[in-house]
């Protein structure tokens, strides 16, 4: 497995100057063959982004954490299998469980912005959306000293003009 590209890892901040992009080496254990259906329902309210990669990759993402029981158990499972994932976190939960966020980053996972309160962004004005994203970003920076590079809108709800504003203000694709 190739190293995690620098552009996809958390960004070093002044609060965490010793952060290093994690490297994954050696053999990666395979998960058991699972029969997943490819007939997923489509919805016009879901937000998608594309990433160009060389090779076959699966992106594992987890939303709505950190959770005091589930996230540590999940981190144990991922570590045992040498799997890295992206955790889209809610700022309120980050403030409650900063030690879990620190562990998540220390184990080489990426943090993504899932807003401060998990409200539907498409029902908000631009100033409210900015505040939701900034407060979550600040919570993660304070907890773990990293800057998030991506965001996932709660419920997939983000209007086109909001998407453009989010990219312009935060650089989130």
pLDDT digits (tens, 9 = 90+) for 53-110: 788 888 899 999 999 999 999 999 999 999 999 999 999 999 999 999 999 999 999 9
Does residue 117 fall inside a structural domain? Answer: yes
Find the CATH number of the domain harbouring 172: 3.20.20.370
**How high is the pLDDT of residue 17?**
56
Count of domains in the chain? 1
In a domain, 120, yes or no: yes
Q: Within a domain: residue 10? A: no
The winner for highest mean pLDDT among 22-26, 50-54, 96-100 is: 96-100
50 found inside a domain: no
Judge whether 71 lies within some domain: yes
CB-neighbour burial class of residue 29 (10 A; exposed 0-12, middle 13-18, buried 19+): exposed
**Beta-strand pair 86-89/11-12:** unpaired
Say if 159 falls within a structural domain: yes
Tell me, what's the pLDDT at 125?
97
Range of the domain at 107: 62-173
């Amino acid at each position: 497995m190739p190293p995690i590209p620098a552009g996809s890892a958390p960004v070093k901040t002044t609060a965490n100057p010793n952060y290093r992009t994690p490297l994954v080496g050696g053999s990666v254990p395979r998960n058991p063959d699972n029969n997943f259906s490819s007939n997923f329902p489509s919805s016009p309210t879901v937000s998608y982004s594309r990433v160009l990669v060389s090779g076959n990759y699966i992106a594992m993402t987890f939303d709505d954490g950190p959770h005091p029981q589930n996230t540590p158990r999940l981190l144990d499972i991922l570590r045992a299998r040498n799997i890295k994932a992206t955790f889209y976190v809610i700022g309120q939960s980050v403030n409650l469980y900063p030690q879990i966020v620190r562990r998540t980053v220390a184990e080489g996972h990426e943090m993504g912005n899932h807003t401060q309160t998990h409200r539907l962004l498409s029902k908000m004005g631009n100033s409210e959306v900015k505040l939701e994203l900034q407060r979550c970003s600040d919570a993660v920076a304070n907890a773990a000293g990293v800057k998030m590079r991506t965001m996932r809108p709660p419920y997939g709800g983000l209007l086109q003009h909001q998407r453009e504003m989010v990219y312009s203000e935060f650089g989130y694709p």
